[in-house]
Amino acid sequence: MPAPIEDYGLIGDATTVALISLGGSIDWLCLPRFDADACFAKLLGNDQNGYWAMRPAAPVRSIERHYRQDTLILESEITTDKGRARVIDFMPPGETEHDIIRIVEGIEGEVPMHVDLKARFGYGAHIPWIKVDGMRATLTSGPSALLFNSPVPIEPDWDVARLEANFTVRAGERLPFTLTFYPSHERPSHDVIDAGKELQRTERYWQNWATRCPYQGRFRDAVVRSLLTLKALTYEPTGGIVAAPTTSLPEELGGVRNWDYRYCWLRDATLTLDALMRSGYIDEATAWRDWLMRAVAGAPAQLQIMYGVAGEHRLEEIELPWLPGYEDSRPVRIGNGAYDQFQLDVYGEVLNTLYDAHVYGVPDLADTWGPILAIVDFVEQAWQRKDEGIWEVRGEGHRHFTHSKLMAWVAVDRAVRMIEEFGVQGHHRVETRLPRWRALREQIRSNLLQRGYNERIGAFTQSYGSEALDASVLLIPHMGFLPADDPRMLSTVAAIEKGLTWDGLVLRYSSETGVDGLPGHEATFLICSFWLADNYAMVGRLDEAEALLERLVSLSSDLGLLAEEYHPERHRQLGNFPQAFSHIGLVNTAHLIEAKRAGREIVYPATAQLH
């Protein structure tokens, strides 16, 4: 049975990651990239679906773990009756192949250890062909292969197709185990890995990267851990950042709200760029902006809400019936059927990202006015359409979502601002659009104010004509549509505090309305609570903002990781893990509070003049 979600640690090489339980079992690993098939899928099933465990063969008194300072090197210290040992887990970054290195160190006395490796390719479905030669083994299935190197003799269990090893580690000893992925039609480029050298190189890589963060506030450890997590979720060859490295971790235990998040969402674009730029990571922000523009290249009518890490368009959703799901949460899905939804907000995300990138000093692309022109012309024709909204409602949920209209306004507003503030460099067709776009911006703004704000309940609501609340409207000040101290925003915040929170944490919407077309319920959506803290900070409620941020940080795992959601009654993290959106919220909120405390203004678009 898999561990609680929050009990997993993350290691990665900036192309894929592995999740390691508190008990020392790697229960999730997709190779050679985030969205490839998993060869360890116990996370979504059981022992039959693949894992690599390394644990004491003696009663355990305690296990304490931490990341080595400002790295993704996971260290677990195990205490038994006879001694203490340390397991160091990491994946060296920047290699063409993918290595997992697990070093067992003796600290005190002696500790008997047991290694148990059961690979099951194809998301736990395919038993590999295994060859063993002393302290080396290969595991092959179709196009994929693993090379396992052990410092002690390997003991194959042919009946169940797994590899074991038993040994005792004594004080001062260091025993490295390595697992290397390679295409089965090739030979691995290295047969032996210098584990000590790779450990030093990996430590330098992560620590050098982390030192670029200028944030020195009260929440520095949480901010740096969140930024390291974002870096781990980056597919370095393209710059794409996945929403999470997992699929089908449930939003409701035992329920059907189980989705594949191993793709790149356009809705995350602006907030991701903000988190990276405010934290000093211009190279990563530039790579993300460049990935975005390659992914969306083409006809605006065909813009998708998400893409693969290399910009792939086709992300068909299928179910894997042989996997019982995390804590019996079925179905397990790969691919994401929402990829071809119509969501009006993505057009605003693209243009807001381009605008912010220029403001932050990201070098401009050679020609962005062509895409800008095409996108705004499309928004002009499409902004009055219903859509599925930021939360990707399924079924018959098409509505005039308030957040979608906000982002349609953002698309036009940022195009106008780019002309007015940056110039058009001789693009006459763009310049002639300016009067029309200004009028369009005013039309969308007036429409949203008249139909998106419900006077009876005193709040911007989920959709036009609705009385349902939705946390996405908390982004109105972030987008420069209204200032946070506008009476309509103040009353919206009050309504959300009263009607859309659970134990002080924010739900993204009420699932009881049936808007999402799904059975069951979900827990609090973590980034929405960060947005509430932002609204507090923007109006000077800094103590409340900081208290909420402190509570959210306290919900992190012992390793500082956050999932998508948190269940206040179960005290459990839920949803895919770790979640980029949650960590982005933490970084941006911490920067905002620090800036407000210091009397500095955080960079947001200037609020438009509104009636």
Element (H, E) at 141: strand 136-141
pLDDT over 50 at 316, yes or no:
yes
User: At residue 312, does pLDDT exceed 90?
Assistant: yes
51-55, 153-157, 396-400: which range is least confident on average? Answer: 396-400
Looking at residue 605, its pLDDT comes to 62
How many whole angstroms separate alpha carbon 564 and alpha carbon 250?
10
What per-residue confidence (pLDDT) applies to 609? 41
pLDDT digits (tens, 9 = 90+) for 83-123: 999 999 999 998 677 999 999 999 999 999 999 999 999 99
pLDDT band at residue 568 using 50, 70 and 90 as cut-offs:
very high
pTM of the model: 0.96
Residues 426 and 437: their CA atoms lie apart, in Å, by 18
Compute the average pLDDT of residues 533-556. 98
Average pLDDT over residues 563-578: 98
Per-residue pLDDT at 393: 84
Question: Which pLDDT value is given to residue 610?
Answer: 37
pLDDT at 188: 85
The fraction of the chain above a pLDDT of 90, given in percent, is 87
Mean pLDDT, the chain, as a whole number? 94
Mean pLDDT to the nearest integer, 11-34: 97
Burial class (CB in 10 A: 0-12, 13-18, 19+), 457: middle
Lowest-confidence segment of 160-164, 227-231, 396-400 by average pLDDT? 396-400
pLDDT of 268 > 90? The answer is no
Q: What is the pLDDT of residue 603?
A: 61
Report the largest interatomic distance among the alpha carbons of the chain, rounded to a whole angstrom.
80
Give me the pLDDT at residue 604, please: 65
**Secondary structure, 3-state, 263-324:** CEEHHHHHHHHHHHHHCCCHHHHHHHHHHHHHHCCCCHHHCCCEECCCCCCCCCCEECCCCC
Q: Write down the pLDDT at residue 364.
A: 87
At residue 270, does pLDDT exceed 90?
Answer: no
CATH number of 212-597: 1.50.10.10
pLDDT given for residue 394 in this prediction: 75
What pLDDT is attached to residue 395?
A: 66
Taking only the tens place, the pLDDT of each residue in 404-424 is 999 999 999 999 999 999 888
Would you tell me how many other CB atoms lie within 10 Å of the CB of residue 164?
15
Residue 351 token pair? 């243009």
What is the pLDDT averaged over residues 372-376?
94
Distance of CA 506 to the CA centre of its chain: 19
C-beta of residue 257 within 8 angstroms of C-beta of residue 251: yes
Rounded average pLDDT over 544-550: 98
**CATH no. of 5-209:** 2.70.98.40
Distance CA(526)–CA(226), nearest Å, equals 14
- The domain limits of the chain are 5-209, 212-597
Quick one: average pLDDT of 601-605? 68
d(CA 230, CA 225): 9
What is the rounded distance in angstroms from the CA atom of residue 340 to the CA atom of residue 517?
17
User: Can you give the pLDDT at residue 190?
Assistant: 79
Token pair, residue 303, equals 């813009």
pLDDT band at 392 (very low <50, low <70, confident <90, very high): confident
From the CB of residue 63, how many other CB atoms can be counted at a distance below 10 Å? 15
